[in-house]
Structure 1
Amino acid sequence: MSMHARWRRIRTASIGVVSVGLLATACGGGSDNGGSSADSDTLIVYTGLAGDWPRVFNPYLPTVSEGAGTIFEPLFFYNIARQDDPAPRLGTEYAWNEDGTELSITLREGVEWSDGEAFTADDVAFTLNMLLENEALNTQNFQGEPTVVDDTHLTVAFEEPAYMKAPDLLGKTWIVPEHIWGELEDPGTDQIPEPVGTGPFTLSEFSPQAFTLAANENYWDGAPKLPEVRYVALSGNQAGADALAAGEIDFQTGPVPDMANFEANHEGYKDVTVHAFQMVLDTCSNAELGCTGPQTDPAVRQAIYYAMDREQLNTLAFQNTADEMSPGFALPERDAGYVSADLENQTVPMNADIARAQEILEGAGWTMGGDGFYEKDGERLSMTVRVVTGWTDYITAVNTLSEQLKDAGIELTPQPASNNETMDARGRGDFQLQIDSQYPGPTPDPYYVYNNFFNSDNTVPVGETANPNFARYSNSAVDEAIAELNQIDPADTEQRQPFYDIIQAEIERDMPYIPIMLGGNTSQFNSAKFTGWPTDVNLYAYPAVWQRPDQAEIYRSLEPTGE
């Protein structure tokens, strides 16, 4: 099955660091006491987590620490960084029938779970049925019917053509062991503190400050050459930058100071920048599902959109690594063939239009109060915006936004909190605004962003956990267009485009997620200590430590140099 895509350029960007002190929090090697990155062949990584690690290895929970790809594998690996064919993992082949209603899957022989039990098609069917029976886990809205043919073959039947379901089903479904998960009281809440998987790594040690994955000696593709991966908990982006400067971590994805001179200032380290994640302000947008606050008014969301000075945000918060995005949420270059000609703005305005923002507000009945902020029906135009403590780029962004929006008569108050608290609040709808990033789908097609974040099937009332339609957006026209796209062979771009036009027009008007910019994700890595890293000329996986299962593909490819 071919996937249409126009690939966005992927550029390298040098990132640098100013003089910094030694990291206060020790980074682990093979013990709980930690140690220098240079002391062993252990890869020490930092994901940006600010605070302690929760012992959560259920790959389907939003608070998971690790496991997707490393411990629990998908059937195939889909590379969103370039146009590759799906790479076999637990699956070896797949094929659709003529009308796209039945998917046949062939599985790898001789695979064992890390506890020695045999992996079979029963485990795959169990995983898919588990998703059907647990709505909170079924974030891809899987609606197929799996049937086991034999130990290495199964089919998945759908009531209607389901071409677009294949990459999520095959590439983003983490296969779990029936002999263990079948005994769980509730797989939607069980944290799986002792995970058993088929992946290249197993959980070796755990503490809230750091945990270690060890190479799976019985892995079906042979034990990885990388013996250990150690995840450390620091206090935020600055601590990550300090750790890089001290040579105490080997891999991180995030901002550091002086982004123009990283390689020059860090002997033995390299960096790469890629663009695929779209930065937004999540809004709890749907009053009918329990959202409260001024942001439930589409006019307020539109006003915020026009009141942003994105050039200033890019300079102050993102060191000019971000790029323009489309308010229709198709990537402007990669998805150029899908960007609707009917959009009011093909890309977001880079400078503030205060007059336009105020015109929109006043047209919706908001009036300027004596304190310089708009009000309506006794309600002041004042909102909070959640941001993760320690995420310095996002913190700078929301502080800058707060100042920018004052000029338009909008009060914005940053609300910092821990990563776990912020993610939990996002899921439950306990927020008004939250700075966030929308992840791309399993293949380079905007369908997956629409289906994940804008489909009403993926949301619930406030108080229940939504995943991933955190805005609680519900629009029947969008839902119907998404359903139609799911039934069309992705090679038929002409038939698909009218439905993309519908979706983009609706979400540009409603703006449940207020577009900021296309994020430039920069990773820094220790090229002296390990070989095999993805580069701008060999992007075999998306080079971000928090991108799953790409991180597992990187770990599988690394080899210690012994230096």
Structure 2
Amino acid sequence: MSILRKSGLAALAIALSASIALPAWALDKVAREKTLILMPDDGGAPQFRNPGQLNPYLPSNLTFRWSGGPIMEPLFYYNSLKDELIPWLAESYSYSDDFTEVTVKLRDGVKWSDGETFDASDILFTYNMLLENGNGAGGLMHASDVADRVESITSPDPLTVVIKLKRPDSRYAFRHLINHFGKGLFWLPEHVWSGKDPLSFNNYAEDGSLPVVTGAWKVVRSSPQQIILDRRDDWWGAETGFRDLPDVERVINIPKTGHDRAAQMVVSGDVDMTGDLVSAPLTKSVVESADNVTTFSGDEPPYGNLDWWPNSLYMNHKTGTWDDVRLRRAMNYYVNAQQLVDIAYLGANPVSRTPFPAFGSMAPYIEDSLELADNYEIGVFDPAKGDALMEEMGYAKNGDGMWEKDGKTVSGAFHGLALFEAVGPILAQQLRDAGIDVEFQTNTESRGLMVEGKTELSIFGHRGGVADPYDTLDLYHCKNAVDVGKPLLILDRWCNEQYSAIVDQIGLISPDDPQMRPLVRKAMEIWYENAVEVPLNQWVHRIPYNTTYWDNYPTTENPYMQPAFWFASGQFGYVLHNLEAKQ
């Protein structure tokens, strides 16, 4: 037995043996070839945080993404890789002519896991719970957004829901009804949740009676060491002929505590999928060292799949440091994104000069944006032009080679998540070589500092649009230019009233409106002219698959869904329905 396999088995044994001490009911035995073992990354923690917390609307619910998410089915899934809507609990939706109402037709025959019928009353209950909270004390996830957008909800019959909006919104369904990446609502059984305090109800029972869900899975164990889901053979979809039962009979989640250990365990076959390995060199070595390990793109670059999260170097416009557009333009000239990608990712992550993910639905907007990027030289590495701008502003190099004016250098806190530990130092060195006095940091405080606007610079991704550009454009709306100290994970905090007015116009029209493309171009011209941030690269999820027991993972040839299993939307539930047992 190889050292890799020994270390993998030992780690797995430690994780699984932890269940011996649990006062839990005995689990049925399920063969390894019917078990999918996942290794999600809970912030690098050696144990899952807040196990047994299966209330989808509590912010403290840190493990919901790989416990409740896959088993709480949405009305619709969305596959960004094919720009494809996948009806699930609902059959269709439609807008009124003025986009102030959305009518949803639910699927007949859907049952909750306790045998009760799922119908419009459960949708109404969920909405009214969120509306009451969002218009009142607050504290529930999505509640304030629902309250901001939804006037009321009615049901003319058990399979029809009518959502009345406060203002025209042609993208409302894509925000709350169509689950993808981190977006989408989860529907609650009224007969279980009625009378419960949604701010304290954890929605979990060790005997398996909670949560009550519509999905093909039940949570049979939720502990710091393991989260285990077992297939429900009485799932409504199989009983009605909607879909066959999944091949996967059990899903075991164990914590990912490091890229190297995760790589060892997927090579040895002790886990089937791991959280993002991030590193192109590591992922390349993994797929080359084992015939039974592959990725979305196989053993070819980028060793994974494009995500909705293109990365940028963000300048915090609320600190005052970056008020002069010439300084922001100089920062763009000083960053060599191609060098960064070549060193950190073996050239496998595409360089990006826009804030948009490189999905097919975005192609015309990216085309227009690249033309504007050329015009304003955003994404052009030219330190000499940056130096000229610095001198024009009155800066001069000091004895340490740093730009200085009135006794002060251009400096400040520069943070990013641990995901960027390979990228951040390279970027910081590029800036220091140019005379910008910064050092990259990543620690347990980094995310909190970024959220509160207490950094000068940060590296992060865009959580914006995937089917059309509106949600990305909306990130830069003046409403998001909140003061330092106010929590908001939108890192530029930039405001331009003319830009915001154009975005408001875009929000009122349908994505297929002929005005869409020229309006987006008009907004993006302001964005580039103001050098709002420094675009870097597209993000790639590098998720290794072990194919010993399972086949039909999402791939370049069969891109039926994003493979990441940690998105809060629960979209990995669709992947679970498509995996095929090899034995």
2:64 to 63, 66, 72: 66
Mark the CA change 1:297 to 1:200 in structure 2 (over 3 Å): closer, same or farther. Answer: farther
Mark the CA change 1:270 to 1:344 in structure 2 (over 3 Å): closer, same or farther. Answer: closer
Q: Which runs of 5+ in 2 are unaligned?
A: 21-29, 206-210, 239-244, 297-303
CA distance in structure 1 between the aligned counterparts of 2:462 and 2:528, rounded to whole angstroms: 16
3-state SS of the aligned residue for 2:416?
strand
CA distance in structure 2 between the aligned counterparts of 1:31 and 1:283, rounded to whole angstroms: 42
Deviations 1:363-398 (A, max 9, x none): 445443332222445543223332334x3xx21100
2:422 to 396, 406, 431: 396
1:247 to 269, 289, 306: 269
3-state SS of the aligned residue for 2:351?
coil
Deviation at 1:349, TM superposition (A): 6.3
Mark the CA change 1:362 to 1:463 in structure 2 (over 3 Å): closer, same or farther. Answer: same
CA contact (8 A) 2:312 2:533 kept: yes
Deviates more, 1:133-142 or 1:496-505: 133-142
Q: How does 1:303-314 map to 2 (within 5 A)?
A: 303-314=330-341
Q: How does 1:90-489 map to 2 (within 5 A)?
A: 90-132=89-131, 133-134=133-134, 137=142, 138=144, 142-172=149-179, 173-177=184-188, 178-179=190-191, 183=195, 185=197, 187=199, 195-222=211-238, 223-252=245-274, 253-256=276-279, 257=281, 259-260=283-284, 262-272=286-296, 273-281=304-312, 283=314, 285-287=316-318, 292=319, 294=321, 299-327=326-354, 329=356, 331=358, 334-339=361-366, 340=368, 343-345=372-374, 352-389=381-418, 391=419, 394-418=420-444, 421-439=445-463, 441=465, 443-451=466-474, 453-457=475-479, 460-466=482-488, 468-489=489-510
2:36 to 26, 36, 43: 43
Cross-structure match for 1:551: 572
* 1:79 and 2:106 aligned: no
Q: Which runs of 5+ in 1 are unaligned?
A: 1-17
Mark the CA change 1:278 to 1:175 in structure 2 (over 3 Å): closer, same or farther. Answer: closer
Q: How does 1:519-538 map to 2 (within 5 A)?
A: 519-538=539-558
CA contact (8 A) 1:71 1:196 kept: no
Deviation at 1:208, TM superposition (A): 2.8
CA distance in structure 2 between the aligned counterparts of 1:251 and 1:232, rounded to whole angstroms: 11
Deviates more, 1:548-557 or 1:200-209: 200-209
CA contact (8 A) 2:278 2:540 kept: no
CA distance in structure 2 between the aligned counterparts of 1:425 and 1:344, rounded to whole angstroms: 30
Name the aligned partner's letter for residue 267 of structure 2: A
Deviation at 1:170, TM superposition (A): 1.8
CA distance in structure 2 between the aligned counterparts of 1:152 and 1:23, rounded to whole angstroms: 49
CA distance in structure 2 between the aligned counterparts of 1:190 and 1:300, rounded to whole angstroms: 50
Deviation at 1:190, TM superposition (A): 7.3
CA contact (8 A) 1:112 1:220 kept: yes
Cross-structure match for 1:26: 11
* 1:561 and 2:582 aligned: yes
Mark the CA change 1:513 to 1:212 in structure 2 (over 3 Å): closer, same or farther. Answer: farther
CA contact (8 A) 1:276 1:439 kept: no
Name the aligned partner's letter for residue 465 of structure 1: P
Deviates more, 1:147-156 or 1:468-477: 468-477
CA distance in structure 1 between the aligned counterparts of 2:448 and 2:306, rounded to whole angstroms: 26
CA distance in structure 1 between the aligned counterparts of 2:195 and 2:73, rounded to whole angstroms: 20
Higher Rg? 2
Cross-structure match for 1:10: none
CA distance in structure 1 between the aligned counterparts of 2:259 and 2:213, rounded to whole angstroms: 31
Mark the CA change 1:368 to 1:540 in structure 2 (over 3 Å): closer, same or farther. Answer: same
CA distance in structure 1 between the aligned counterparts of 2:377 and 2:234, rounded to whole angstroms: 50
Deviation at 1:550, TM superposition (A): 3.1
Deviation at 1:303, TM superposition (A): 3.1
Cross-structure match for 2:49: 54
CA distance in structure 2 between the aligned counterparts of 1:334 and 1:326, rounded to whole angstroms: 17
Mark the CA change 1:368 to 1:264 in structure 2 (over 3 Å): closer, same or farther. Answer: closer
CA contact (8 A) 1:250 1:526 kept: yes
Name the aligned partner's letter for residue 495 of structure 2: S
CA distance in structure 2 between the aligned counterparts of 1:33 and 1:360, rounded to whole angstroms: 60
Deviations 1:465-500 (A, max 9, x none): 32x5343343333332232222222222x3112320
Q: Specify which structure has the higher proportion of helix.
A: 2
Mark the CA change 1:210 to 1:307 in structure 2 (over 3 Å): closer, same or farther. Answer: farther
CA distance in structure 2 between the aligned counterparts of 1:285 and 1:480, rounded to whole angstroms: 22
CA contact (8 A) 1:280 1:437 kept: yes
CA distance in structure 1 between the aligned counterparts of 2:194 and 2:497, rounded to whole angstroms: 36
Which aligned runs of 4 or more in structure 1 are off by greater than 6 angstroms? Answer: 18-21, 346-351
3-state SS of the aligned residue for 2:352?
coil
Over the matched positions of the two proteins, sequence identity in percent amounts to: 24
CA contact (8 A) 1:310 1:349 kept: no
- TM-score normalized with structure 2 length: 0.79
3-state SS of the aligned residue for 1:267?
coil
Mark the CA change 1:325 to 1:101 in structure 2 (over 3 Å): closer, same or farther. Answer: same
CA distance in structure 2 between the aligned counterparts of 1:19 and 1:356, rounded to whole angstroms: 51
Name the aligned partner's letter for residue 383 of structure 1: G
Aligned-residue CA RMSD (Å)? 3.6
CA distance in structure 2 between the aligned counterparts of 1:103 and 1:283, rounded to whole angstroms: 36
Cross-structure match for 2:208: none
CA distance in structure 1 between the aligned counterparts of 2:353 and 2:149, rounded to whole angstroms: 28
Mark the CA change 1:515 to 1:185 in structure 2 (over 3 Å): closer, same or farther. Answer: farther
CA contact (8 A) 1:32 1:210 kept: no
Deviation at 1:58, TM superposition (A): 4.5
Mark the CA change 1:179 to 1:205 in structure 2 (over 3 Å): closer, same or farther. Answer: same
CA distance in structure 1 between the aligned counterparts of 2:393 and 2:204, rounded to whole angstroms: 51
CA distance in structure 2 between the aligned counterparts of 1:30 and 1:20, rounded to whole angstroms: 15
**Per chain length, whose mean CA-contact separation is higher, i.e. which structure has more relative contact order (CA < 8 Å, sep 6+)?**
1
3-state SS of the aligned residue for 2:125?
helix
CA distance in structure 2 between the aligned counterparts of 1:109 and 1:506, rounded to whole angstroms: 48
CA distance in structure 2 between the aligned counterparts of 1:24 and 1:512, rounded to whole angstroms: 49
CA contact (8 A) 1:326 1:345 kept: no
